[in-house]
Amino acid sequence: MAKNMMKYFLAIVPDESIQADALAIKQEVLEKYHAKHALKSPAHVTLKMPFVYSEKKEAKLAAYLETFFAGFRSFPIEFKGIGRFGKRIMYARVRHGEELPTLQQSLGQFCRLELKQVQELSDKAFTPHMTLVYSDLKDRYFDECWAMVKAKGFYGKMEVKKVALLKKIDYRWYVIKEFDLEGK
C-alpha cells in the first residue's frame, strides 16, 4: 500500500491586522503585475521549510510538535521595512531578539533527530522575513513593483504566542494546527 505523502511546513503566522496589511500588498501586486504565488499561503515567517511527511502520521507529527513547542516561551517580533532577495522575492523585514533564531535552530535539530528530516541549507542560513512578492513576478515589472512596495513599507509588532503547521492542499497552503509557546 502506497503512503500518502504530503507537504508541510512550520511558520509564525501573524495576527489578523498584520495579515490584512500583507494581503493588501499581495492583492495590489496581483492586480497591477499579475503575480499571484504570494496569495497561495497566509503571510508567515518560515521556521522550517516545506518537507514531505506521511499524512497517515499527521496526528503523531502534531503530538511531537506540540510537546516540542511547549518548551518555549512567547517573544516579540517587529516587522520594519522592506527587503529583497535579488530580483526574485520582496519581503517585510523581521526584527527580533535571540528567541527567534534559538527557536528556529532548536526546531531544525528536532526535525532532523526526531522527525528524520534532512537539514536544508535554508535551515542553516536562517534569514527571518515575511514574503510579500514571490518569483512569479515578471522581470520587466520588478523595478516598478519594487519601488511601489518599498514606498508602502511594512510595519507592525506582535507577540509570537503560537507556531503553525501548514499543509499543502490543492496547490495552496493552509494552517492545520497551531502550537502554543507555553514556556514550561
pLDDT at 82 over 80: yes
Q: Which CATH superfamily is domain 5-180 in?
A: Cyclic phosphodiesterase (3.90.1140.10)
Do the Cβ atoms of 30 and 133 come closer than 8 Å?
no
Average pLDDT of every residue of the chain: 94
pTM over 0.75: yes
pLDDT at 2 over 60: no
Instruction: Name the nearest CA neighbour of 10 among 156, 131, 113, 164.
Output: 164
Do the Cβ atoms of 117 and 110 come closer than 8 Å?
no
pLDDT at 1 over 90: no
Instruction: Name the nearest CA neighbour of 15 among 102, 79, 85.
Output: 79
pLDDT at 3: 66
pLDDT at 166: 98
pLDDT at 120 over 80: no
Neighbour-count burial for 112-149, b at 16+ CB within 10 Å, e otherwise: eeebebeeeeebeeeebbbbbbbbebeeebbeebbebb
The full DSSP string for 43-84 is S-EEEEEEEEEEGGGHHHHHHHHHHHHTTSB-EEEEEEEEEE
Report d(CA 130, CA 67) in Å as an integer.
Answer: 26
pLDDT-derived band of residue 51, with 50, 70 and 90 as boundaries? very high
Domain segments of the chain as ranges: 5-180
> What is the percent of the chain where pLDDT is above 90?
89
Q: Write out pLDDT tens, residues 130-182.
A: 999 998 999 999 999 999 999 999 999 999 999 999 999 999 999 999 999 98
pLDDT at 184: 60
pLDDT at 6 over 80: yes
